[in-house]
Amino acid sequence: MTPHMATLNRKYFVLVSLPVVSLITAVVMDDLALGQRFDHYAYDFFYRLEGPKPWVPESVILAIDESTLSRYGGQFGIRNAVADGLEKIAASRPAAVAVDVILADQGSPESDARLEHAFATTHNLVLASYLRPDGSWENPLPRFRKYAAAVGQVHAEFDKYDMVSRDLPLAKAAGPDRRWALGFDTFLAVKGLKITQESPDSVALGPLTIPTFSGEEHSIRILYAPPEMGGIPRISIAELDANPALAGRFAGKAVFAGETVQGRDSWMTPYSNLNSTPGIEMNASLYETLSRRFFPVDASALVVLAVAFALGALVAVAYAFGSVWVSNLTAAGVILASQLIPPAAFRNLVVWPWLPATLTSVFTVALAATWRHFAVTKDLARAEQQRERYQRAMQFVTHEMRTPLTAIQGSSELIGRYGSMPEAKRKQMADLINSESKRLARMIETFLSVERLSAGQMELKRERVGLPELVERCAERARPLAERKQIEIEIANMPGAAIAGDRELLEYAVYNLLTNAVKYSPSQTRVRVFGEDEKGDRVRLCVEDQGIGMDQKEVGRIFEKFYRTKRAEQSGEAGTGIGLSIVEQIVTQHGGSIHVQSAPGKGSRFTLVLKRAS
């Protein structure tokens, strides 16, 4: 695998794994209580941010407050208080009156009679029933019930962690006996509507369809009056007593009569800052929710996840392929988008959970940035290594060049200085100058050819080069080096094939493999060179040694420019780490390939597969 492929693979890994990991984490978190906590807080936040603007309420609360209770003698006086209140507002003709007071037991005969009388003259009376903990209904006495247009339930639903009531069930069942919410019954009575159809996720009232959740119970989210409205208008019975003119404020309204004493039957709303809202106001709010058609629906889970994944994927793509700027901007954009989508959705009455996209984007950005940090550090280390190797190689190359240059310099100086030099000596020096400058020229020529070849600036020569001759000539050149280490170069089974190519370059390649084999082998070993006809038009040439060898990781890198193995450096053999990179280029330029098998301490085999000349 080339380093380029390695980075690509790494990129695809990042590309796929990051958003997937982030999304899974986000989904798991979202499913946990903590995650839901965050989604709820976010809902409250968007509710306050994007929530409905003030409106003119269609309901009024007839409040039984502290002063009403003290005026009527506490809890025992409630029935008298309600009767009084109803009598006082009757002339204003309210659209309906919902009474959220327990009327299951007998009160004093006079107060029950008064209340019954008041109920008898009330238009669209809706009474309350309570679901007892044992699962049965606590109903109003029949003497009251008979005047009621409906008996609703006043079950409150709240979050078990923060006590905030965000939604209410429209229906509650105790066995087969199912009741609708007090506010809902009041709405039906006032608007003259009936339930025409029910499905698990909706309730239809003729042309008006209410989207609901939680199946049979048909929960809906509640529209609470924003703080600027100061809640649903509230007038207490005590105030009415003191100022009967206030009765006019109930004209044509849906009236909700009930206790507003702080701390009793009261709940938190998304608006409340630790101030609770009395149960009666929740019923009135349900009424307002229905009459204002405030029906936010949940965004489809699939869409939410798809968007979260898309955001994560965008980040991964930017980090894998984009520049630093592109990826940073994308990261910022994606995180911003994950924050803008939920409120924008809320504005369109779609409840979009905040957590999945937020977590997915933040996680992906964090992971991608970490990945990049490490990748960059690694690349830097690599570049630094390469620079060091390059420096060492340059030192070596200049050193190599200095040797022939010194010889040439010295000889030419001598010739110039001593005019009366013996002819034989002069000839010897001229020959030395000649051979050393040729060596220098060859060195430079090879480097330049290969650079030009790989840059595509040079046409490869195509001559017939006989394989046995090529090998023989290279072996001949390498033998003096081998003999110094008492290494035998053995040529075996050489097919008589010819190769079409550049003789000089091919010679450079084979000679390099041979000298490497000699350099990286201990003395008194053997280097074997052998060939084989391959299938098709190919021929194989192997150079095998019994030398220091390499491990797999090193084999993967020896064709990099300037790379040398630790073992090679410790061997004391001089080298640049350039040779094999040139060999590889030469071989590929000839349409061939090079393969290496090696084991540390055992030896190596370099195999060239080349095209035969036709």
Which residue number, 101 or 543, has a Cβ lying nearer to ligand ADP?
Answer: 543
Q: Please give the backbone phi and psi of residue 536, each rounded to the nearest 5 degrees, phi first.
A: 75, -140
Q: What is the rounded CA–CA span in Å between residue 38 and residue 267?
A: 20
Which residue number, 198 or 483, has a Cβ lying nearer to ligand ADP?
Answer: 483
Interface residue with ligand ADP among 578, 586, 587, 608 (CB under 6 A) is: 578
Q: Is 579 in the site for ligand ADP (CB under 6 A)?
A: yes
Which residue number, 289 or 512, has a Cβ lying nearer to ligand ADP?
Answer: 512
Which residue number, 121 or 552, has a Cβ lying nearer to ligand ADP?
Answer: 552
Using the rule CB under 6 A, give the single segment among 25-33, 423-431, 462-470, 575-583 that binds ligand ADP: 575-583
Q: Give the CA count within 13 Å in the CB-facing half-sphere of 159.
A: 21
Which residue number, 377 or 593, has a Cβ lying nearer to ligand ADP?
Answer: 593
Q: Are 315 and 364 in contact (CB under 8 A)?
A: yes
Closest separation between CB of residue 511 and ligand ADP, Å?
Answer: 11
173 CB-contact burial (10 Å; exposed 0-12 / middle 13-18 / buried 19+): middle
Q: Are 246 and 62 in contact (CB under 8 A)?
A: no
Nearest CA among 602, 577, 471, 579 for reference residue 525? 602
Q: Is 315 in the site for ligand ADP (CB under 6 A)?
A: no
AA identity, residue 476 = E
Interface residue with ligand ADP among 114, 172, 218, 564 (CB under 6 A) is: 564
Q: Is 35 in the site for ligand ADP (CB under 6 A)?
A: no
Q: Is 125 in the site for ligand ADP (CB under 6 A)?
A: no
236 CB-contact burial (10 Å; exposed 0-12 / middle 13-18 / buried 19+): buried
Q: Is 545 in the site for ligand ADP (CB under 6 A)?
A: yes
274 CB-contact burial (10 Å; exposed 0-12 / middle 13-18 / buried 19+): exposed
Closest separation between CB of residue 580 and ligand ADP, Å?
Answer: 3
Q: Is 169 in the site for ligand ADP (CB under 6 A)?
A: no
Which residue number, 470 or 518, has a Cβ lying nearer to ligand ADP?
Answer: 518
Q: Is 122 in the site for ligand ADP (CB under 6 A)?
A: no
Using the rule CB under 6 A, give the single segment among 44-52, 123-131, 178-186, 561-569 that binds ligand ADP: 561-569
Q: Is 140 in the site for ligand ADP (CB under 6 A)?
A: no
Which residue number, 132 or 595, has a Cβ lying nearer to ligand ADP?
Answer: 595
Nearest CA among 460, 463, 459 for reference residue 498? 463
Q: What is the DSSP letter of 53?
A: P
Interface residue with ligand ADP among 247, 580, 587, 608 (CB under 6 A) is: 580
Closest separation between CB of residue 383 and ligand ADP, Å?
Answer: 19
Interface residue with ligand ADP among 23, 489, 506, 558 (CB under 6 A) is: 558
Which residue number, 361 or 604, has a Cβ lying nearer to ligand ADP?
Answer: 604
> b/e map of 68-88 (b: 16 or more CB within 10 Å)?
bbebbeeeebbbbbbbbbbbb
Q: Classify strands 538-544 and 526-533 as parallel, antiparallel or unpaired.
A: antiparallel
Which residue number, 259 or 584, has a Cβ lying nearer to ligand ADP?
Answer: 584
Which residue number, 210 or 517, has a Cβ lying nearer to ligand ADP?
Answer: 517
Q: Is 550 in the site for ligand ADP (CB under 6 A)?
A: yes
Q: Is 164 in the site for ligand ADP (CB under 6 A)?
A: no
Closest separation between CB of residue 590 and ligand ADP, Å?
Answer: 18
**Cα angle 528, 529, 530; round to 5:** 115
Q: Are 556 and 565 in contact (CB under 8 A)?
A: no
Look-up: residue for tokens 């929740």? 282
Which are the contacts of 364, defined by CB distance < 8 A and separation ≥ 6?
A: 18, 19, 22, 311, 312, 315, 316, 334
Closest separation between CB of residue 564 and ligand ADP, Å?
Answer: 3
Compute the CA torsion angle 464, 468, 469, 472 (nearest 10 deg). Answer: 150
Interface residue with ligand ADP among 327, 361, 576, 589 (CB under 6 A) is: 576
Nearest CA among 235, 198, 234 for reference residue 218? 198
The residue number whose beta carbon is nearest to ligand ADP equals 575
Closest separation between CB of residue 505 and ligand ADP, Å?
Answer: 15
Q: What is the rounded CA–CA span in Å between residue 78 and residue 20?
A: 61
Q: Is 565 in the site for ligand ADP (CB under 6 A)?
A: yes
Closest separation between CB of residue 458 and ligand ADP, Å?
Answer: 21
Closest separation between CB of residue 608 and ligand ADP, Å?
Answer: 13
Which are the contacts of 608, defined by CB distance < 8 A and separation ≥ 6?
A: 509, 510, 513, 540, 541, 542, 587, 592, 593, 594
Q: What is the rounded CA–CA span in Å between residue 541 and residue 509?
A: 11
Using the rule CB under 6 A, give the single segment among 62-70, 171-179, 309-317, 562-570 that binds ligand ADP: 562-570
Alpha-carbon Rg of the chain, whole angstroms?
47
Residues 504-533 that bind ligand ADP (CB under 6 A): 512, 516-517, 520
Interface residue with ligand ADP among 188, 305, 345, 568 (CB under 6 A) is: 568
Q: Is 63 in the site for ligand ADP (CB under 6 A)?
A: no
Supply the angle between the helices 355-417 and 33-50 in degrees, to the nearest 10.
100
Which residue number, 449 or 516, has a Cβ lying nearer to ligand ADP?
Answer: 516
Closest separation between CB of residue 414 and ligand ADP, Å?
Answer: 33
Q: Is 71 in the site for ligand ADP (CB under 6 A)?
A: no
Which residue number, 345 or 542, has a Cβ lying nearer to ligand ADP?
Answer: 542
Which residue number, 110 or 451, has a Cβ lying nearer to ligand ADP?
Answer: 451
Closest separation between CB of residue 399 and ligand ADP, Å?
Answer: 13
Q: Is 577 in the site for ligand ADP (CB under 6 A)?
A: yes
**Cα angle 461, 465, 469; round to 5:** 145
Q: What is the rounded CA–CA span in Å between residue 297 and residue 310?
A: 22
Which residue number, 359 or 550, has a Cβ lying nearer to ligand ADP?
Answer: 550
Q: What is the rounded CA–CA span in Å between residue 288 and residue 515?
A: 94
Which residue number, 19 or 575, has a Cβ lying nearer to ligand ADP?
Answer: 575
Q: What is the rounded CA–CA span in Å between residue 563 and residue 523?
A: 24
Q: Are 187 and 124 in contact (CB under 8 A)?
A: no
Look-up: residue for tokens 């070849």? 453
Closest separation between CB of residue 6 and ligand ADP, Å?
Answer: 19
- Rule CB under 6 A: which residues touch ligand ADP? 512, 516-517, 520, 545, 547-550, 558, 564-565, 568, 575-581, 604
